[in-house]
Amino acid sequence: MRPEHIGTLRTGASPQPSADADVPVLWLIVGAGIVSAFQVGEISIALPSLRDSIGISLPDGGWLLSVFALVGALTGMPVGVSVDTVGARRMALAGLAVQGTSSLLSATVDSFAWLLALRVLEGLGFMSVVVAMPALVLASTPEHKRKRAFAILGTYMPLGVAMAMLCAPLMKFLGWQGLTLLSGTGLFAYAALLLAGTRHLAVPAAAQASGFAAMRGTAMARAPQLLAMLFAAFTAAYFSVFGFLPTLLASRMSLDGATAGMTAALVVAVNAAGNLACGVLLSKGISHLALMRFSFIGMAACTAAALATDVSGLTALVFCALLSFISGPIPVILMELAPRSASSADQTGAAVGLVMQGNNIGLLVGPAAAGMIANAHGWQWVSAWVACLVLCALGLIAWLGRMRSFS
């Protein structure tokens, strides 16, 4: 990676954003991620209503849950190239509009096939937003504030998913159709807010290289490869536990489904505190790689403690909350390093897209593997699977540390 490209963007009229205007715009950008992440979590709370209204089966529900990850695993880098060529702001606005359209149309369908097709479209809109966000943060935030800005950005997923899970009690009044109509309307309203709030933002200029050249160059570059593999290891480990958290809490603490879901939402939201703590630690000079090592080791230890067979339900809940907090720095650091890993300025979006592909591959692999292990050998053996992922991550961090740009 060339040093002159680290942490840079080719912006329009203003290469250095105003320190006075960065905070409101930053929160607008994070809000776009939160309302998009709501779409990830809404299916979990809507499955009972969908089973009653259009008669989908549990395997069908599994496809609706996993299709976002599948779309992201297949399209991350092409979407990233589109961010470079079309522009980050346009892609974020288009992504919100696509999600809003898909949500509104979902309220009108009465078959699983159409619902799955709309979820695929919604997944593309979601990827457009999340891949564009790092570029928008770089364009809207002065360099000396970027560590904390990326920490704030990292809260979008836990806050969005938790917000969706907290809406579970409303499903008895809204139903699936009411939820999607409300969600779609909210997405279009937020797109209008983002359009107005970022109209003066100096965004990256369009890339000159072809999309294929950018993807080929990024795919051959070592730094984004390592970051993508790290994100895959993290997401696989994290969702091996949190993908089944309501089930775990219900069985360990004898909770009903609604209470277990609400408790799980609060535990997931603790991850946002870990994201913010990461920004404080990085601003105090803590090394990115040292903080990632600590977080990965902490994930392995907390998972082993939470899934041990001889712990009480309350103890398991405490360790799950600690796991949620201690894992918070990892996605923040990976999202901050992703733009810096680009070999050239016109490959920034492709690099971010590749790293996000790793995130989605982990989301596909982790819960599936954990579910099979738990079914065959019990939940205590899932901690061994997470430990293997952590060992792989520590090896990748050591490899990354040998690169001059990240040491």
pLDDT band at 272 (very low <50, low <70, confident <90, very high): very high
Answer for the pair 270, 320: CB distance below 8 angstroms, yes or no.
Answer: no
**pLDDT > 50? residue 306:** yes
**pLDDT > 50? residue 405:** yes
Among 164-178, 292-306, 368-382, where is mean pLDDT lowest? 164-178
Which pLDDT score is estimated for 203?
64
- CA 385 from chain centre, in angstroms, equals 21
**pLDDT > 80? residue 333:** yes
Highest-confidence range of 53-57, 86-90, 220-224, by mean pLDDT? 86-90
Highest-confidence range of 71-75, 173-177, 206-210, by mean pLDDT? 71-75
pLDDT band at 22 (very low <50, low <70, confident <90, very high): low
Which pLDDT score is estimated for 168?
78
User: pLDDT digits over 160-184, tens only?
Assistant: 988 888 887 787 788 888 999 999 9
Task: State the residue for tokens 């969600």.
Answer: 183
Percentage of residues in the chain having pLDDT higher than 90: 41
pLDDT band at 93 (very low <50, low <70, confident <90, very high): very high
Whole-Å CA distances, 389 to 108, 303, 324, 393:
42, 12, 17, 6
Residue 85: what are its φ and ψ, rounded to 5°? Answer: -90, -35
Averaged over 203-218, what is the pLDDT? 62
| Domains defined along the chain, listed by start | 14-204 (1.20.1250.20), 211-407 (1.20.1250.20)
**pLDDT > 70? residue 156:** yes
CB-neighbour burial class of residue 249 (10 A; exposed 0-12, middle 13-18, buried 19+): buried
Answer yes or no: pTM beyond 0.75.
yes
- Scanning 284-381, the segments in alpha helix (DSSP H) are 288-307, 313-326, 329-340, 348-377
Highest-confidence range of 43-57, 104-118, 189-203, 320-334, by mean pLDDT? 320-334
CB-neighbour burial class of residue 4 (10 A; exposed 0-12, middle 13-18, buried 19+): exposed
**pLDDT > 90? residue 110:** no
Which pLDDT score is estimated for 210?
55
Percentage of residues in the chain having pLDDT higher than 70: 88
User: pLDDT digits over 216-257, tens only?
Assistant: 777 677 888 999 999 999 999 998 998 888 878 878 888 776
**pLDDT > 50? residue 18:** no
**pLDDT > 90? residue 393:** yes
